Structure 1
Amino acid sequence: MDAHAALGFRRLSIIDLGGGNQPILNEDGTMAITFNGEIYNYRPLREALIKAGHTFTTQSDTEVLLHGYEEWGGKLLERIRGMFAFVIWDSTRQELFGARDHFGIKPFYYATMNGTFMYASEIKSMLQHPDFVKELNKDALKPYMTFQYPATDETFFKGVFKLKEGHYFTYRNGCMNIHEYWDCNFEESKQNLDDLVEDIDQTVVDSVAAHQIADVEVGSFLSSGVDSSYVAAVARPEHTYSIGFGKGTYNESQQAKELAQLIKLNNTSETLDGEDAFSYFPQIQWHLDEPDSNPSCVPLFFLSELASRDLRVVLSGEGADELFAGYLGYGVHTRSKIIKMVTRWLTHLPAPARHAIARFAQGKTFHGAWHLYANLAPAEESFIGQAQVFRESEAKALLKPEYRKGPSVADIVGRIYARIAGKGLSEIKKKQYLDMHQWMPGDILLKADKLTMAHSLELRVPLLDKELMSVAQKVPTKYLINDENTKFAFRQAAARHLPKEWYDREKLGFPVPISKWLREEKFYRLVREVFERDYVAQFFDQDALLRMIDDNYEGKSDDRRKIWTVYSFLTWYDVFFVHDGAKPEPATV
């Protein structure tokens, strides 16, 4: 603390356990840093800084950032490899410098209220500040209902913003200036498949090794999918962890256990049920800070708790789907090889012809129509990201008038697409670029960070690394998605470490049985009770909402994702506004 600034930190000790407590000061005490994350190349940077004359008092990567900023200023960001959100207070210049990592792995919130600039890794810590004014951002609800996660730069708390991925800021004399320092640069190369697979595998192996640097044991999550399996097979950690629901299609832990036995890894797994999920659901939304209706939040919360019994750090597979085009939503909407082959041939037509065929197929019901449309239409018209729960018209119809004024879906995605207009990218690469800047930081990485940190567990994502990005952004489109599978080249690299059943498996996501739950009387009544509360009518057409959940329960419709999205928001609102942000205790269900 000094006359102008106060910096505080609560630490999860990973590197330099005894000496790395924060805030850390520079040699003469004129600068102070708080830093959340890990810098994986901090050791060579430390050596360079010592040669330049800097004196270190710790062995931490935090202090490398501080002296690196002294030496290189903002150019430090070009040198570091890692995940980070940090702020440096320069008392001499009366200036704050802060930055968020390339991909948005680590969260960074800020607000200026009553003359005070405040920042944090979690919004809930800012709620305690005497200058904080808590108010719901009414413009956040409409886009959330479509995207399933907080889709705008301003959060659900009015006046609280997210620093965007790949950006830094300076704050001085009450003025905040934000600048971009990095962006992915998708392009089309002519690299042959063998060389490409070699580059991918070597970079993954190198990244996994870098992400295992720690002064504590590093374990790994392990699902049935190729991404976490690839990471675990390369890392060979002492411990891996898996989780699932009951038996059958909703339980990946059995396949994970089989792989662990095949490649001789020690695996710990548990199964969950609906009682577990609903009991802890309010607490899950509390940890997230903002509502997120991605069903995978539930198993991720429990998986993190399972791993935290033994470890402080785990590796996971996030990032591969965005870097190497792993999502079915990028254009895989049929199993027919013939339709895939014909569509692929049509993608080589001139744009006017492709778009004319797409317009013909749009809305048609013949088999293959959606596949044709998704692959031939401009991404800007056909793709808003991985989640689309409510159509915009449906959201407006359900919301009360004062909550219909938020930014449109076209406004949100249009700003991102505009950044790559005219670059000649394939439609798949445009979709990747959108997800890199919308879905990934807004949903995938946010829940990964919040729900692991909920259990004092650090999640590292070696497949989301700037060195791997430099390889991924040049992959020829024909090696991203083809007639065989999604992320084709990546799977061929994984094949060097995994059996075919694992590297070739179709993407599942994190399967959660919400459809089954919402048709079980106990859970249906639990969610309906939330929908019946008095405050619900201020947001929604309550009668329409109750009809939706009743019709779904009776099997007249399948609106599980819509119901879950509204339920997530109302649960979050109850926690932060009805109960003033107090951490909920697990309920008896």
Structure 2
Amino acid sequence: DVPLGAFLSGGLDSSIIAAIARRQMAELHTFSVGIDGSRDILAARRVARHIGSIHHEYLYTPQEVLDKLSEVIYHLESFDQDLVRSAIPCYFCSRLAAQEVKVILTGEGADELFAGYTYYKDIHDNAALHRELRRSVTCLHNINLQRVDRLTMAHGLEGRVPFLDVAMIDMAQTIPPELKLKRTDTGRPIEKWILRKAVEDLLPADIVWRDKEQFDEGSGTVDLLDPLIKTAAAGIDVEAYRAHYPHTRLRSAEECFYHKLLVESFEKPEVVLKNVARWAERP
């Protein structure tokens, strides 16, 4: 009953959601952000043309990212390096979408249900992979879903995650893990194989079989952010900062910088800090 749109990075998950939504709607607004010429921007344009959506883009600059970083971290309520990096494009995309719609569809959850992350390829036992996928889904609420919820609502936008519909989760749990992470004769596992096969008639082949990239990678945010953070965090004595927060795991100078911004954003930061969830470190 309210205007509805879809985030569209041009990756598999958001493209599936946008394509299916477009089939059900007379018109669909889609939204993409990144740096000029980034892979996500180019792929999203291709998908938008293919499905016939009303497409909107926003290209941000290094200075804009730096100017908004404290605000992003304030809304995110986390200093986790990976989460902050992916929250930056989410912030700008939510701001863009809020100008046109009230509800936004996202592709969250597909990686956890269908084995989309790179580290899953290191799990060679199918039973162990199934257990890890189930664990991943149970952790979504205070990592990726926290990012989506906080950054969309920061702009008065309601996020919806169709892949995490209960019926969808139940169905995905019945699919053998070897069909999610498909081992090939070449030795290169294909992540989300069964999901890709299911949508071969829905999207262009280069989108269906596009390699997985995180939101911050495909949008170009990582390339933009690295030199900015290196400069901004240069004045932090990492060891001294860690010593000041001995019960907090701070993995890098970048994370110390984000932690500092978070502490400065709240009158009682300890209330927020005790609830910060972390991405697990992988070998």
The answer, yes or no, to whether TM exceeds 0.5 is: yes
The structure 1 residue matched to 2:46, chosen from 240, 244, 258, is: 258
Counterpart for residue 224 of structure 1: 10
Structure 2 segments unaligned to the other structure (5+ residues): 272-283
Give the aligned residue type for 2:95: E
> Which secondary structure state, in structure 2, belongs to the residue aligned with residue 267 of structure 1?
strand
1:268 alignment partner, SS class:
strand
Q: Which structure has the greater CA radius of gyration?
A: 1
Give 3-state SS (helix, strand or coil) of 1:241's partner: strand
SS at match of 2:75: helix
Pairwise CA distance, 1:530: 5.2
2:174 match: secondary structure: coil
1:441 aligns to what?
141
Is it true that 1:519 corresponds to 2:227 in the alignment?
yes
Aligned equivalents of 1:493, 1:499: Cα separation in 2 = 13
User: Counterparts in 2 of 1:55-94, with a 5 A limit?
Assistant: none
Matched with 1:493 is 198
CA distance in 2, matches of 1:535, 1:479: 46
SS in structure 2 of the partner of residue 310 of structure 1:
coil
Counterpart pick for 2:127 among 426, 433, 441: 426
* 2:280 aligned residue: none
Structure 1 outlier segments of 4+, above 3 Å: 512-520, 529-532, 534-537, 577-581
Q: Aligned residue for 2:234? A: 528
Query: Does the 8 Å CA contact 1:292/1:443 hold for their aligned counterparts?
Result: no
Matching residue within 556, 560, 574 for 2:264: 574
Question: What residue is the counterpart of 1:304 in the other structure?
Answer: 94
Q: Does 1:317 align with 2:107?
A: yes
Equivalent residue for 1:555?
Answer: none
Q: TM-score, normalised by structure 1?
A: 0.40
**1:502 CA drift (Å):** 0.9
In 2, the alpha carbon distance for the partners of 1:429 and 1:539 equals: 36
Contact 2:262–2:269 under 8 Å retained in 1 = no
Equivalent runs, 1:19-58 vs 2, <5 Å: none
1:470 aligns with 2:170: yes
Cα shift at 1:515? 5.3
1:367-406 matches, cutoff 5 A:
371=122, 374-375=123-124
Q: 2:179, 2:96 → 1: CA distance?
A: 37
Secondary structure of the corresponding residue to residue 519 of structure 1: helix
Cα gap change, 1:452/1:527 in structure 2, threshold over 3 Å: closer, same or farther? Answer: same
Counterpart of 1:443, as a letter, is: I
Residues 71-106 of structure 1, C-alpha deviations (whole Å, 9 max, x = no match): xxxxxxxxxxxxxxxxxxxxxxxxxxxxxxxxxxxx
* 1:272 pairs with 2:60: yes
Whole-angstrom distance in 1 between the partners of 2:94 and 2:192: 27
Does the alignment pair 1:328 with 2:18?
no
Q: In structure 2, which of residues 74, 97, 121 is the aligned counterpart of residue 286 of structure 1?
A: 74
Which residue pairs with 2:209 in the alignment?
A: 504
Asked whether the 8 Å contact 1:530–1:570 carries over to 2, the reply is no
Amino acid of the residue matched to residue 447 of structure 1?
Answer: R
Q: Distance in 2 between matches of 1:219 and 1:516?
A: 27
Point out which structure has higher relative CO (alpha carbons under 8 A, 6+ apart): 2
Deviation at 1:441, TM superposition (A): 1.7
Task: Give the secondary structure class of the aligned counterpart of 1:426.
Answer: helix
| Structure with greater helix share of residues | 2
Partner Cα distance (2:243, 2:222) in 1: 24
Residues in 2 aligned to 1:432 and 1:267: alpha-carbon distance in whole angstroms: 33
Q: Look up the equivalent residue of 1:220 and give its one-letter code.
A: A
Partner letter of residue 318 of structure 1? Answer: E
Does 2:24 correspond to 1:234?
no
Alpha-carbon shift at residue 306 of structure 1 (Å): 0.3
* Pair 1:564-2:254 in alignment: yes
SS of residue paired to 2:94: helix
Q: Please say if residues 226 and 494 of structure 1, whose CA atoms lie closer than 8 Å, have aligned partners that are also in contact.
A: no
Separation (CA, whole Å) in 2 of partners of 1:220 and 1:517: 25
Q: Which amino acid aligns with 1:446?
A: Q
Any unmatched runs of 5+ in structure 1? Answer: 1-214, 332-370, 377-424, 546-560, 582-589
Q: Deviations over 1:362-421 (max 9, x none)?
A: xxxxxxxxx5xx425xxxxxxxxxxxxxxxxxxxxxxxxxxxxxxxxxxxxxxxxxxxxx
Letter in 1 for 2:171: V
Quickly say closer, same or farther: Cα 1:469–1:578, change in 2 above 3 A: closer
Q: Secondary structure at the match of 1:455?
A: coil
For 2:270 and 2:243, locate their aligned partners in 1 and report how far apart those are by CA, in whole Å.
Answer: 19
Deviation track 1:234-264 (CA, whole Å, cap 9, x = no partner) reads 101521000112334xx41121011111221
**Residue correspondences, number:** 254
Would you say the 8 A contact 2:230–2:254 is kept in 1?
A: no
Aligned partner of 2:276 in structure 1 is none
Structure 1 residues 323, 220: closer, same or farther in 2, change over 3 A?
same
State the distance in 1 between where 2:4 and 2:236 align: 40
RMSD: 2.6
Alpha-carbon distance between aligned partners in 2 of 1:464 and 1:567, rounded to the nearest angstrom? 33
Post-superposition offset of 1:479 = 0.8
User: What is the deviation of 1:466?
Assistant: 0.5
Taking the aligned partners of 2:225 and 2:51, their CA distance within structure 1 comes to 35
**What's the counterpart of residue 14 of structure 1?**
none
Are 1:317 and 1:461, in contact at CA under 8 Å, matched by a contact in 2?
yes
Change (3 A) 1:281 1:578: farther
Alignment partner of 1:322: what SS? helix
Cα distance in structure 1, aligned partners of 2:129 and 2:243: 41
2:120 and 2:129 in contact (8 A); partners too: yes
When normalised by structure 2's length, the TM-score is 0.81
Report the Cα distance in structure 2 between the residues aligned to 1:494 and 1:459, rounded to whole angstroms. Answer: 23
* AA aligned opposite 1:297: A
Aligned to 1:210: none
C-alpha separation in 2, matches of 1:538 and 1:580? 13
- Give the drift of 1:496: 2.7
Q: What residue is the counterpart of 2:281 in the other structure?
A: none
Which has the larger share of strand?
1
SS in 1 for 2:136: helix
Change (3 A) 1:526 1:487: same
CA distance in 2, matches of 1:300, 1:222: 11
Partner amino acid, structure 1, of 2:70 = P
